[in-house]
Amino acid sequence: MSGRSLDHTIHAFEFIEELDRLASPQAIIDAMERSFAQYGFENFIMPGLPHPEQQIESLVLLKKWPLGWYERYTRNSYDRHDPVIRLCRRTVQPFEWGEAHSDPETIPKGREIMHGAADFGMRQGYCLPIHGLNGFEACLSMSGPDLDLTPQTKPAIHLMSMYAFERARLVLAPSARPNPLTAREREALRWAALGKSAADTGEILGVTERTITAHIGSACAKLSAANKTHAVARALQHRLIEI
């Protein structure tokens, strides 16, 4: 292994050790700025991927990002059409921004966005999609004017990014919110997701059809769902039930 490769492997693991001692978002950003500089990165953002009803601003965990671009991005809801965000939902592997182009649904809106980023000096970037539990999906997107992205450096960046994300999540959201559904509501939704009618599920669980209807109804209320199908979709999306 070359000396250059050796350098970044050492830095990657040192960075991970350092993360455990960082207690604030700003400290994490600062550490990332120092440690990712060797690969040419200058800007970082760590947004949650918004559901259709959410605003992306409310989900940004960390950022060191050109302010003008961030404002334009959020003002125009670019996240709805950003090829990078779209690719994040379809892949689990990190990718370069340039690999996110071939999405027919985002052209030409996607081009506009990528060109806008370039106007703020961000022509190249690297993005790590993060597919977690509880319906929580996020990514870590990074940019810089002259990146060192090779088959040797990418795994190091990948590893550093994953641990940076986990640390940020721990620092920012130390307590997971509990499952709002009761055991019976989960059972009723689970059987519904498997195609059972209320009468079927009642027979399975040894209660009346009316009881299952009641459980489904209260689950709909808690999930703000319009009907059973909607409730099952939301429960699956937020990993409140397992099928």
Q: Report how far residue 11's alpha carbon sits from residue 8's, in angstroms, rounded to the nearest whole number.
A: 5
Comparing CB distances to a second copy, the nearer of 22 and 122 is 22
Comparing CB distances to DNA, the nearer of 29 and 216 is 216
Q: Least distance from C-beta 227 to DNA, angstroms?
A: 3
| DSSP class per residue in 141-196 | EEEESS----TTHHHHHHHHHHHHHHHHHHHH--SPPPP-S-HHHHHHHHHHHTT-
Q: Tell me if 197 contacts a second copy by CB under 8 A.
A: yes
Q: Tell me if 192 contacts a second copy by CB under 8 A.
A: yes
With tokens 């190091």, the residue in question is 156
Binding partner of residue 211 among DNA, a second copy, none, CB under 5 to 8 Å per kind?
DNA
Beta strands in the chain (DSSP E): 43-47, 60-64, 95-96, 124-131, 137-144
Question: For residue 197, which amino acid is it?
Answer: S
Q: Least distance from C-beta 119 to a second copy, angstroms?
A: 29
Chain positions 35 to 94 lying near a second copy, rule: CB under 8 A, are: 51-52, 89-93
Cis status of the peptide bond prior to 108, with omega within 30 of 0: yes
Binding partner of residue 79 among a second copy, DNA, none, CB under 5 to 8 Å per kind?
none
CA distances from residue 104 to 8, 50, 91 in whole angstroms, order as listed: 37, 21, 16
Chain residues binding DNA by CB under 7 A are 182-185, 192, 197-199, 202, 205, 207-211, 213-218, 220, 226-229
Report the interface residues with a second copy, using CB under 8 A: 1, 5-6, 9-10, 12-14, 16-17, 20, 51-52, 89-93, 131-133, 151-152, 155-156, 158-159, 162-163, 166, 192-197, 225-230, 232-233, 236-237, 242-243
